[in-house]
């Protein structure tokens, strides 16, 4: 068996949920076939046991033939060994199929989420993506897991029906007619299960989305006193999810009950008919024991068929959610082929901003949303006419490698700190480039205190807000893109740290193009060029000192910033007022968490 997960999950067939599950079977055909064959052998070895017991009683005990008794006892032992071995190996293949399908689906969901970029939060909520990557992958894996036992169950039922037909045609007909009849009677129970599973799945996705929003906007809710209101809403939604889960469980319980009741009725009928034939002398004692053994054995394959129906139904519902995600196409597809030489001049035609190559250009906007919109257009996260090196930006290849937009909504990855700061370098992360980036971001004290080998927890929660911001800045600098766009990179650090960052940023990006969206006087004073944006348009340009002299609105914007003293956030302190305002004001197409929470 191959190690999991595989490097390339492949290209899925997502035209429909059924096609997606069939595609998984095709790409895993070796292990799926092996599991099905082993499942057939495993189930057949059990199916033949009643016949061996019946022959041992009839040919050995009743006929008083010791050699026949020993022979059939040996055959029964051999069947037991085969069942034990094939059962263990079958379970191994079934588990592998389940894990492989789950991993493959999780990889596809992750790859698609990365490919969609800023399109994803516009089309699907965070809860939907989380549910697809966690709950749905388990249901899809369960559908692949049941293949081995389901195949064995079908073959075993056919084999038992054939044996009964050859021994007693009436009993064989009872099984041949009874099994399809059971499936027909149980079929109407599948639709309610599918509908309620789907309804429950959608409510879980909505609740997960609201949970994400509440956690992300908890600071804001505390500031406006909205905790009680939103906790009440969350409690009500949670109760709706619970009610939908109970409804789905009721439908599943009915199906489970049918799995026991209907086969039980068939078994009772077979046993009653076999007993009558034995009383009439049509069959012998050994054959009666055989028929009773088959009646008891049929419980297993018939129940397996019912379980397979339930799992495949859940798998189809889950596959439907996954294929819906895979069907989404990026609003801004990366199909460019032009490769202008770097460094190159950038022009945002909508605002009139011209970014000269090899300089630090600052954008100061009286409305932070205008600066965010420009940053999104420069990074091609929203539509807009932008020229790069004399060609339209949407025709440029490898935009994500050439242009990096770093915002405060970015998160630190869990794992080794060095790899979190330089993920492309992998286990070899470190060296002079990383050290230089850490110094430029004034994050030496953090690295010195914990070390580059320290483990970072999810989203870097062990670091304060200011420490996280400096580490994110170091990660952006070590990436060394042709164009680096920083949105409020120092909003959560104290003034002394901010001054050092402002002094070191220019030398660290020498020869590269850097754009900083900020209204901080410390950052603006160190920039090579400053553009003031009002109503989405560049209305004044020059140095920080020049703009203070000629543009009153710029002076008012910068003075407002100077009047808001900041101190670096800590794990036990609330975020500063400026950070909260920036988070609310800078909501972009890629981050609408707080807006959804407030709505």
- Ordered DSSP codes for 382-446: S---EEETTEEGGGBS-HHHHEEEE-TT--PPSEEHHHHHSGGGGGG--SHHHHHHHHHTT-HHH
Q: Are 474 and 463 in contact (CB under 8 A)?
A: no
Q: Where are the domains of the chain?
A: 17-326, 346-411+481-592
Residue with token string 């090579």 = 528
Of 188, 148, 138, 146, the residue nearest 321 (C-alpha): 138
User: pLDDT tens digits, the chain, 599 residues: what are they?
Assistant: 678 888 888 999 999 999 999 999 999 999 999 999 998 899 888 888 887 887 787 777 777 888 888 898 898 899 999 999 998 999 999 999 999 999 999 999 888 888 887 778 777 776 677 777 777 888 899 899 998 888 888 888 888 778 777 777 887 777 777 777 877 887 788 778 778 877 887 787 777 767 766 666 665 566 666 667 777 877 888 888 888 889 888 888 888 888 778 877 877 887 788 788 778 777 776 677 777 777 777 778 877 887 888 888 889 988 988 998 899 888 777 777 888 888 899 999 999 999 999 999 999 999 999 999 999 999 988 888 999 998 999 899 988 889 999 998 888 888 888 888 887 654 444 578 899 999 999 999 999 999 888 888 877 888 888 999 999 999 999 999 999 999 999 998 999 999 999 999 999 999 999 999 999 999 999 999 999 999 999 999 999 999 999 999 999 998 865 555 554 444 333 333 333 333 333 333 333 333 333 33
**How many other CB atoms are there within 10 angstroms of residue 238's CB atom?**
14
Of 324, 322, 326, 329, the residue nearest 132 (C-alpha): 322
Rounded CA-CA distance 108/124 in Å is 16
Q: Are 38 and 148 in contact (CB under 8 A)?
A: yes
Rounded CA-CA distance 207/126 in Å is 10
Of 35, 15, 6, the residue nearest 101 (C-alpha): 6
**pLDDT of the residue at 220:** 59
Encoded tokens for 573: 């302190």
Rounded CA-CA distance 36/38 in Å is 5
Q: Is 534 in a helix, a strand, or coil?
A: strand
Encoded tokens for 430: 């470190």
Q: What is the CATH number of domain 17-326?
A: 1.20.1560.10
Encoded tokens for 72: 């059939």
Q: Is 360 in a helix, a strand, or coil?
A: strand
- DSSP string of 249-317? HHHHHHHHHHHHHHHHHHHHHHHHHHHHHHHTTSS-HHHHHHHHHHHHHTHHHHHHHHHHHHHHHHHHH
Which CATH number is 346-411+481-592's, of 1.10.10.10, 3.40.50.300, 3.90.440.10, 3.40.640.10?
A: 3.40.50.300
Residue with token string 């069959």 = 283
Q: Are 473 and 514 in contact (CB under 8 A)?
A: no
Query: Torsions phi, psi of 392, nearest 5?
Result: -60, 140
Q: Are 168 and 281 in contact (CB under 8 A)?
A: no
Q: What's the burial of 228, exposed, middle or buried (CB within 10 Å: 0-12/13-18/19+)?
A: exposed
Q: How many residues does the chain have?
A: 599
β-bridge mates for residue 483, sequence order: 403, 513
| Reported pTM | 0.61
């Amino acid at each position: 068996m191959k190690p999991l997960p595989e490097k390339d999950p492949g290209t899925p067939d997502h035209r429909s949920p059924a096609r997606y599950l069939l595609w998984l079977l095709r790409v895993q055909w070796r292990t799926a076939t092996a599991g099905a064959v082993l499942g057939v052998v495993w189930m057949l070895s059990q199916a033949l046991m009643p016949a061996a017991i019946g022959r041992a009683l009839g040919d050995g005990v009743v006929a008083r033939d010791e050699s026949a008794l020993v022979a059939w006892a040996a055959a029964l032992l051999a069947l037991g060994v085969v069942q034990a071995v094939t059962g263990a190996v079958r379970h191994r293949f079934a588990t592998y199929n389940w894990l492989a399908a789950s991993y493959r689906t999780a990889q596809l969901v992750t790859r698609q989420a990365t490919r969609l970029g800023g399109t994803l939060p516009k089309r699907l909520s965070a809860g939907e993506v989380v549910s697809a990557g966690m709950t749905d992958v388990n249901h899809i894996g369960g559908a692949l897991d049941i293949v081995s036992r389901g195949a064995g169950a079908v073959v075993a039922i056919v084999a038992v029906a054939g044996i009964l037909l050859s021994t007693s045609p009436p009993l064989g007909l009872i099984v041949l007619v009874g099994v399809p009849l059971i499936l027909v009677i149980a079929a109407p129970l599948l639709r309610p299960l599918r509908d309620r599973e789907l309804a429950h799945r959608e409510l879980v996705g909505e609740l997960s989305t609201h949970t994400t929003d509440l956690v992300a906007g908890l600071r804001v809710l505390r500031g406006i006193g909205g905790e009680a209101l939103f906790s009440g809403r969350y409690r009500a939604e949670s109760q709706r999810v619970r009610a939908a889960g109970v409804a789905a469980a009721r439908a599943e319980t009915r199906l489970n009950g049918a799995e026991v009741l209907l086969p039980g009725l068939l078994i009772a009928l077979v046993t009653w008919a076999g007993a009558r034939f034995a009383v009439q002398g049509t069959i012998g004692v050994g054959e009666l024991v055989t028929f009773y053994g088959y009646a008891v054995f049929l419980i297993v394959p018939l129940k397996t068929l019912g379980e397979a129906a339930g799992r495949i139904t859940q798998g189809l519902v889950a596959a439907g959610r996954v294929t819906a995600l895979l069907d989404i196409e990026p609003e801004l597809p990366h199909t460019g082929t032009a490769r202008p030489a770097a460094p190159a001049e950038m022009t945002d035609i909508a605002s009139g901003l011209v970014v000269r190559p090899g300089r630090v250009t600052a954008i100061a906007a009286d409305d932070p949303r205008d600066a965010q919109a420009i940053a999104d257009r420069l990074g091609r996260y929203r539509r807009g006419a932008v020229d790069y090196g004399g060609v339209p930006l949407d025709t440029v290849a490898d935009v994500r490698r050439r242009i990096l937009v770093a915002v405060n909504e970015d998160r630190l990855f869990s794992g080794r700190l060095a790899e979190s700061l330089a993920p492309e370098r992998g286990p070899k992360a470190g060296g002079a480039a990383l050290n230089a980036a850490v110094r430029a971001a004034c994050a030496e004290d953090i690295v010195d205190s914990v070390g580059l080998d320290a483990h970072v927890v999810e989203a870097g929660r062990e670091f304060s807000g200011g420490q996280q911001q400096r580490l994110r800045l170091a990660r952006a600098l070590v990436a060394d893109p042709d164009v680096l766009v920083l949105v409020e990179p120092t909003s959560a650090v104290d003034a002394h740290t901010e001054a050092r960052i402002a002094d070191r940023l220019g030398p660290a990006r020498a020869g590269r193009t850097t754009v900083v969206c900020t209204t901080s006087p410390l950052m603006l004073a160190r920039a090579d060029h400053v553009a003031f944006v009002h109503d989405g348009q560049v209305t004044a340009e020059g140095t920080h000192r020049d703009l203070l002299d000629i543009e009153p609105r710029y002076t008012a914007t910068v003075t407002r910033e100077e009047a808001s003293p900041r101190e670096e956030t800590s794990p036990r302190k609330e975020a500063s007022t400026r950070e909260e305002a920036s988070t609310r004001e800078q909501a972009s197409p890629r981050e609408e968490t707080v807006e959804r929470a407030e709505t």
